[in-house]
Structure 1
Amino acid sequence: MIQDLRIRFGIIGIVVLVSIFLVYPSLGPVPAFWSKYLPDNPVRLGLDLQGGLHLILEVQADKAVEAVVDQTASEAAAMMKDEKIRYSDIRREPSATIEIVLKDAEQAALFDQKVLDKLHNFKKISSTPVDRGIEIKLQMDPKSQESIKQKAVRQAVDTIRNRVDALGVAEPDVVIHGADRIIVQLPGLKEDLNRAIDIIKQTARLEFKLVDEKGDLNAALKGDVPVGDEVLYKIDRNPATGVVTKTPYLIKKQILMTGDVLTDARVHPDKMGRMIISMDFNRLGAQQFERITGEHVRERLAIILDNRVYSAPVIKDRISGGSAIIEGMFTPEEAHDLALVLRAGSLPAPVKILENRMVGPSLGADTIRLGRNAIVLGLLLVVAGMLIYYKWSGLVADVALVLNLLLIFAVMVSPGLRATLTLPGLAGVALTMGMAIDANILIFERVREELRLGKSPKAALDLGYSKAFSTIFDSNLTTILSALPLIQFGTGPIKGFAVTLCIGLIVSMFTALFVTRAIFDYAFQVKRIKSLSI
């Protein structure tokens, strides 16, 4: 340990001044010059202390697998067309299976060589002769299915986080919970809660599918839907009158292209003043869109978002340039929200809200008040107990305890960490107070033992600190090691508790072993005390 008292008290003074400097913005409004030139980060409060929105979402990852199977079916159809392999039908079946009916059974070997070998995640599970052809079934590898599901959950977290950031919510918490669930916490969100929920849960799954103009729409509306088709609706709402009209379309289920290749989405009015959304595709998307429009000239291509048809124009010619538009009777806010979720990225699969809980700011204020009162009461009881039992030495421990609290909050608001204070975090602070004072108790009891053995006060103090050090260090280290998994894998309140506990334990090592020792050494070396009040 540093022997020079001036250096030791210099270190303590610098630490105290920096801590006050960091904590000051949390005590109230700061002057204009402070917020302009100096850090003004107050203590960041969690959802349970300042109110906000808490959601538990379930990612329907099976839908992501279905989308990949549809995309693969589209690619297989394009390859068969390029290789002059004639087929009468291709469609997705349950269990991640693609069913293909070739018109000529003799082309089965050519199909295996030119198409199947390029579909790396699929294998042939059956090959059955049918009238003047052959029916082939391909199934996705189970490991690939599981990989797609895991990727869908991770991508959903990133997408939701991007959307929340675009909403302007400060310090959101979006984490994976379990295999397919996501916890979303938006502290401080008090307005537009329903809008935030709509933006978060909206799949924004942009799909391009063909309209089945040969099928019987009227029969489909009565329940006789052709195999491989589905009925979707275009919903228009007149902004002036509020009248809603629904137009049915008979749509082929096969997905030709998705919004995964989207790079930008912008809102602007058309010549009639209606809001439209312009979309740009990346290089791969531009190539796909050009190929699709070239192969289906004079057919209708439906632009579908979350199973809702927005437009179904007739393809007049091959379209190059990598752009498209979404038309609809949008209000400006609806158009901007839709562009926001498209820019942030579509969810790879729909999400289902399992829990939707709003914590009011008044509840958070009550929690802060009760937590503050509990900490203050605990602090007063500990201070009084130490003064009564350890006399002047107890006062030294009390000074270190108050400094310990100051340092905890200073570390929490430091720019490099910016930890969140939650209700369990307040419990962690209270627990740390007890563990910090416990370190001083271990030292003082060791000193008392040495005094009873006839050692001088200075020698007893030296031996007390040296013998108690290993016990204090080992105890705090094992507690920190047990809390680290909670920081790594815990969410929200659990993580908040572990963070404050670890910060408090590290800080208590400084206050209990360094600060109190400096005060005692000052008393012996400068004040020349002859006895120790302990």
Structure 2
Amino acid sequence: MLNKNPAWRYLVVIAMLLICMLYALPNLYPEDPALNISAARGAVVAEHSVVELEQAFAKADIAVKSVQLLDGKVLARFASAEQQLQARDLAKNVLGSNYITALSLAPATPDWLAAIGATPMKLGLDLRGGVHFLLAVDMQAALDKHLTDLVSRFRTDLRQAQIRYLSVNAGPALAQVVIKFRQADDMHAAVLLLSGQDRELLLTESQDKLSLQVSLSEQRQREIRNYALEQNITILRNRVNEIGVAEPVVQRHGADRIVVQLPGVQDTVLAKEILSATATLEFRLVDTDSDLAAALAGQLPVNAELYYHNDGTPLLLDKRVLLTGDHITDATSGYDEYSQPKVSIKLDTAGGSLMSDASKDVVGRRLASVFIEYKPGSELNADGTSVLVKQQEVINDATIQMRLGRDFDITGLSSPAEAQHLASLLRAGALIAPIQIIEERTIGPSLGKENIELGISAIQWGLVAVLLFMVVYYKAFGLVANIALGANLILMIGIMSMIPGATLTLPGMAGIVLTVGMAVDANVLIFERIREELAEGRSVQQAIHQGYDRAFATIADSNITTLLVALILFGVGTGPVKGFAITLAIGIITSIFTAVVGSRLLVNLIWGGRRLQSLPL
């Protein structure tokens, strides 16, 4: 029969609506201002520290919702942002400088919703408050580093192939290495060797056949720049994740820019220290010949320096540094064959050669790994930032069992957490290319709260206006359109909450307001088409059927063009523009679904398949 639908269609639509409603529910629970407190160097916060915090908060009359110890870190929840800020200053005084205290917003989602992965929508910087940085990446430095690595690699390869050469140096032109030879035969052999190793290298022979220019192709240069940018993004993301910043945004912006947004962070000095923090290693031999007691008394040997283990044990090390952390390209934590924590180190070509040459004659001696970190001190620079103080300690020393190369392990660490933290810091200290802050903005939490209130108010007033218009103008069919509009909002919020990378920004809220107005356009087209069909003398059931079928082409045409614009905005835009594009695109898709499918099912359920002489339209 005309305008009758099978039960499974209703069940599918109801199931979709219920799923989206379930994942939209966490947005009804506002997030709590919170503190994330973790111990420095990957240590674990002790139980007594939690007790001390609770007692200090109670003594200072700071209302605390809860203080939890989760995975070795403290999560303290508060009722307001003012109490959160007071608690942060108090926590720093109670715990000291060996702990990292970060502001965050902790979701208050019930456990039964969290168990199915339901979380509230992620809010952008303009709604939550925080700091925004635009960083410029020095791409020329990335190319120079790659050329330096090529120079070292060419020298090693030519020596191993027993090809004699005069010099291997970076050329006067950009992205070029010049190799000089004594004989033309040596140059010919080098061409055969290098061309077989890498086909993206451009080899140019000189006229006298004694010089070879090795250039990087445009494709290789683009790959180097892209790798430097993506690697720096990964490193910066590791840095901000290390201190527990809630929902940080670290993303690419153009060819050589990186946008960093830290929601909840209001101290730009702290944010700069996070981005500019650096950590590295030095590898030195242990001096076992000198008198340690005399060194502790102030009589240091000429060729040694006094260091301390992280447990306070003194140790004499050679002044000569075998290798620095500048050559570390990667560091990962894991376990050795005895199930003890370790950090696996990978060096670049130059570092591998240096380590191999330095360790071949010292097999059997002890090698110490010195951890070096720069932390803000009490003194300030002229611009108000803290002067970075160099801190160094021995994290392990082990006997060299064999000649070392590009890959080796650091063992003897106290815990897996320390190994993971050390690996993270070493990766963070190995930026592929230098970065420079070229723009910074701070958005206060009060402004973000005001933006949310104004945005919600705009959505509410827009929704009320549309609901009243539809009821007054289309009567009972207007109620159907309003039900579809409500379902549309539920679908939008549910989908936005389910998408991992979706962030709601202030322009995104404007997109929701725009969608509220646009969502009824499809219903207006359908209802007007039904009116036209009735005016032409068709029956009620024919008018409903033809109205939905013939209006669909117009609805699709008008919405697809808008959807294409939203996709283009998402592809080329960044930050708030991308947030607007996401909400607009989702709103278009859900509005088409609710108008064409949802409202039709509802109309057919109420008026379909019945002998009617008129419609309340």
TM-score (norm 2): 0.63
Aligned residues with identical type, % of pairs = 37
Once the two structures are superposed, the pairs formed by residues 261-300 of structure 1 within 5 Å of their partners are 262-263=331-332, 280-282=344-346, 288-293=353-358
| Equivalent position of 2:147 in the other structure | 69
| Equivalent position of 2:443 in the other structure | 359
3-state SS of the aligned residue for 2:261? Answer: strand
Sort the Cα spacing of 1:506 and 1:483 in 2 relative to 1 into closer, same or farther, 3 A.
Answer: same
The answer to whether the 8 Å contact 2:133/2:261 transfers is yes
Q: For 1:65-109, what per-residue CA distance to the aligned partner results, in whole angstroms no more than 9, with x for missing partners?
A: 11122222223344555567777765445434446676xx35x64
The answer to whether the 8 Å contact 2:330/2:426 transfers is no
The answer to whether the 8 Å contact 2:331/2:424 transfers is no
The answer to whether the 8 Å contact 1:123/1:139 transfers is yes
CA distance in 1, matches of 2:434, 2:205: 29
Q: Does residue 343 of structure 1 match 2:344?
A: no
Sort the Cα spacing of 1:75 and 1:518 in 2 relative to 1 into closer, same or farther, 3 A.
Answer: closer
The AA in structure 2 aligned to 1:485 is: I
The answer to whether the 8 Å contact 1:261/1:284 transfers is no
1:406 Cα offset (Å):
1.6
Match of 2:248 among 161, 164, 172: 172
1:198 Cα offset (Å):
3.3
CA distance in 1, matches of 2:233, 2:596: 43
Match of 1:383 among 461, 467, 477: 467
Gaps of 5+ in 1: 210-233, 237-248, 267-277, 326-333
Deviates more, 1:397-406 or 1:366-375: 397-406
Sort the Cα spacing of 1:306 and 1:13 in 2 relative to 1 into closer, same or farther, 3 A.
Answer: closer
Once the two structures are superposed, the pairs formed by residues 75-94 of structure 1 within 5 Å of their partners are 75-79=153-157, 81-82=159-160, 91-94=169-172
| Equivalent position of 2:123 in the other structure | 45
The answer to whether the 8 Å contact 2:3/2:545 transfers is no
Once the two structures are superposed, the pairs formed by residues 103-142 of structure 1 within 5 Å of their partners are 105-106=182-183, 109-110=185-186, 112-114=188-190, 117-118=193-194, 120=198, 121=201, 123=203, 136=211, 138-142=213-217
The AA in structure 2 aligned to 1:172 is: P
CA distance in 1, matches of 2:14, 2:157: 74
3-state SS of the aligned residue for 1:354? Answer: strand
| Equivalent position of 2:85 in the other structure | none
3-state SS of the aligned residue for 2:437? Answer: strand
| Equivalent position of 2:584 in the other structure | 501
Match of 1:185 among 254, 257, 261: 261
1:151 Cα offset (Å):
2.6
The AA in structure 2 aligned to 1:446 is: R
CA distance in 2, matches of 1:146, 1:418: 27
The answer to whether the 8 Å contact 1:407/1:507 transfers is yes
| Equivalent position of 1:224 in the other structure | none
CA distance in 1, matches of 2:402, 2:605: 87
Aligned length in residues? 470
CA distance in 2, matches of 1:87, 1:295: 25
The AA in structure 1 aligned to 2:141 is: K
3-state SS of the aligned residue for 2:329? Answer: helix
Sort the Cα spacing of 1:124 and 1:9 in 2 relative to 1 into closer, same or farther, 3 A.
Answer: closer
| Equivalent position of 2:528 in the other structure | 445
CA distance in 1, matches of 2:109, 2:160: 71
Match of 1:466 among 543, 546, 549: 549
1:367 Cα offset (Å):
0.9
Deviates more, 1:176-185 or 1:141-150: 141-150
1:152 Cα offset (Å):
1.9
Q: Does residue 406 of structure 1 match 2:490?
A: yes
1:438 Cα offset (Å):
0.7
Q: Does residue 511 of structure 1 match 2:599?
A: no
Q: For 1:334-391, what per-residue CA distance to the aligned partner results, in whole angstroms no more than 9, with x for missing partners?
A: 9998753313572211112221222222221111111111111111111222222222
The AA in structure 2 aligned to 1:158 is: T
The answer to whether the 8 Å contact 1:90/1:99 transfers is yes
The answer to whether the 8 Å contact 1:46/1:422 transfers is yes
Deviates more, 1:12-21 or 1:441-450: 12-21
1:15 Cα offset (Å):
3.7
The answer to whether the 8 Å contact 1:393/1:533 transfers is yes
The answer to whether the 8 Å contact 1:87/1:100 transfers is yes
The answer to whether the 8 Å contact 2:480/2:599 transfers is yes
CA distance in 1, matches of 2:614, 2:271: 66
CA distance in 2, matches of 1:250, 1:137: 36
Sort the Cα spacing of 1:145 and 1:502 in 2 relative to 1 into closer, same or farther, 3 A.
Answer: closer
The AA in structure 2 aligned to 1:394 is: G
3-state SS of the aligned residue for 1:174? Answer: strand
Q: For 1:381-407, what per-residue CA distance to the aligned partner results, in whole angstroms no more than 9, with x for missing partners?
A: 112222222223222212221221122
Match of 1:372 among 433, 439, 456: 456
Q: Does residue 149 of structure 1 match 2:225?
A: yes
Sort the Cα spacing of 1:447 and 1:98 in 2 relative to 1 into closer, same or farther, 3 A.
Answer: closer
Sort the Cα spacing of 1:444 and 1:146 in 2 relative to 1 into closer, same or farther, 3 A.
Answer: closer
3-state SS of the aligned residue for 1:496? Answer: helix
* Alignment root-mean-square deviation, CA: 4.8
CA distance in 2, matches of 1:422, 1:85: 61
Deviates more, 1:446-455 or 1:338-347: 338-347
Sort the Cα spacing of 1:88 and 1:448 in 2 relative to 1 into closer, same or farther, 3 A.
Answer: closer
Match of 1:197 among 264, 269, 272: 272
CA distance in 1, matches of 2:186, 2:12: 79
3-state SS of the aligned residue for 1:357? Answer: strand
The AA in structure 2 aligned to 1:293 is: A
1:48 Cα offset (Å):
1.7
Q: For 1:103-141, what per-residue CA distance to the aligned partner results, in whole angstroms no more than 9, with x for missing partners?
A: xx35x6425524884375363565899xxxx8x574423
The answer to whether the 8 Å contact 1:9/1:518 transfers is yes
The answer to whether the 8 Å contact 2:144/2:175 transfers is yes
The answer to whether the 8 Å contact 1:375/1:430 transfers is yes
CA distance in 2, matches of 1:137, 1:306: 42
| Equivalent position of 1:163 in the other structure | 239
Match of 2:563 among 471, 476, 480: 480
The AA in structure 1 aligned to 2:23 is: L
CA distance in 1, matches of 2:361, 2:188: 26
| Equivalent position of 1:3 in the other structure | 4
